[in-house]
Each structure stands twice: as structure tokens, then as C-alpha cells.
Amino acid sequence: MRLEVVIPYRDRQEHLQKLMPHLWKVLTDQGLDFRITIVEQEPGKKFNLGMMRNIGFLERPDADYYCFHDVDMYAEDVDYSYTDMPTHLAYACEQFNYKLPYRTYFGGVTLFDKASYEKINGHANWYWGWGAEDDDLYWRVALVGFKRRYGRFWSELHNRPGSKESQNENHKKYRANLETTEEKSGLHNCRYTVIKAEEYNSRLRTILVSI
């Protein structure tokens, strides 16, 4: 089974430089057939984490399953093997004292088989800046079923400029979207332009995108 690891990225070079050799070794030691795609959003707009994850999926449609991986989470005890349903891996993270921060948390590091990700229509594209995209994801996976696989990660805190404002705005949007009957934002209306794509080897690709 081929695994595609999607890492959304912007302005986090220090974290990415730590993550890549560490993650590469973990995946290799587990004997997995993996590739890694780093999806970088160009400057100019607030970061859109959900859309970066969708783009990574859309640009690599031939994998059997996908791992959406935050750039600042480093595996201590994590099983990245195949899953046949939405699976939350970031169960025990250092930044949350190695406990699930709240019942509906479904962020940080997740696994999806291809069919399940398509069925939930991926992540929402309408959250800009920090907050709410993972809460939205929880309710999408809750409709199709999900599981948690214990994963222990150490993590690094980082500054989130304007995070309070964007968090408040995004959670207002999130609550409104829970009540709407309109078609949900996701893979089907993810619009973007690839500015540059680079293949470093058969397992590593970077994509710079405009959204």
C-alpha cells in the first residue's frame, strides 16, 4: 500500500528541517512504501491549512492512503501503516501534556484511505488563518465513522500572528456552517494554481501554490 504524506507549509523552515529527516527515518524503519509532498502556500493571504491538505491530495491522486501531517509534530511512538477509515494519530502530544485536549479533537496528524477522504469531500476551504478547520473535519469524519490510533508526538509551539482574531472569525463561520444545508466546501471546489513543482527524488516533491 502506497502512503502519501502531505505536509502543508509556509514560513516554518526550522520546523521543516527538523521534521524531514526524522519522519523519513520513521517511515523507512517501518518498511512503508511512502512519498512526501510539501505543499507551500505563496505569501499574500492568510494561511489556509485545509486547502493545502486538499491540494496535496489532488496533486497525488494515485496513493492508497494519505497522512496529513503538521510540520511541528515529531513522532515518538507512532504507527503510520495502512488504514481503511479516517484515523486520528495525534492522540498524545507534548503540547497538550500527552493527553487528548478535547473529545472532538481531530487535528495534528491524521490518516485517510483514499475512498474515505473523497467521501467526506476532504477538508473545508473556507477557514483562513488559525482555528476551526480541524473541528469541521471531526464532524465530517463522524458521519462516515472514524477511529483513533494511539500516537505519541513531541511538538514545538510557534507564534501565530493574528491568531486570536482569525480563530474568533473562523469559529463563527464554523458554527454557521454546521447549521447550513448548502453543499459543503471541500475537494470539489478547491481552486488553486501550481506556481512551481520540484521533484527531488522518487519520494519527495514540493509544490508552491497560489490560492
pLDDT attached to residue 207: 98
C-alpha cell at 71: 510540520
pLDDT digits (tens, 9 = 90+) for 97-116: 999 999 999 999 999 999 99
Is it the case that residue 61 has pLDDT exceeding 90? yes
CATH number, domain with residue 69: 3.90.550.10
How many domains does the chain fold into?
1
Average pLDDT, the chain: 90
pLDDT attached to residue 44: 92
C-alpha cell at 6: 502531505
**Percentage with pLDDT > 90 across the chain:** 79
Instruction: Read off the pTM.
Output: 0.90
Q: For residue 7, what are the domain limits?
A: 2-210
pLDDT digits (tens, 9 = 90+) for 154-184: 987 655 555 556 666 665 555 556 545 445 7
> Quick one: 180 exposed, middle or buried, by C-beta within 10 A (0-12, 13-18, 19+)?
exposed
- Calculate ∠ Cα 58-120-45, nearest 5°: 55
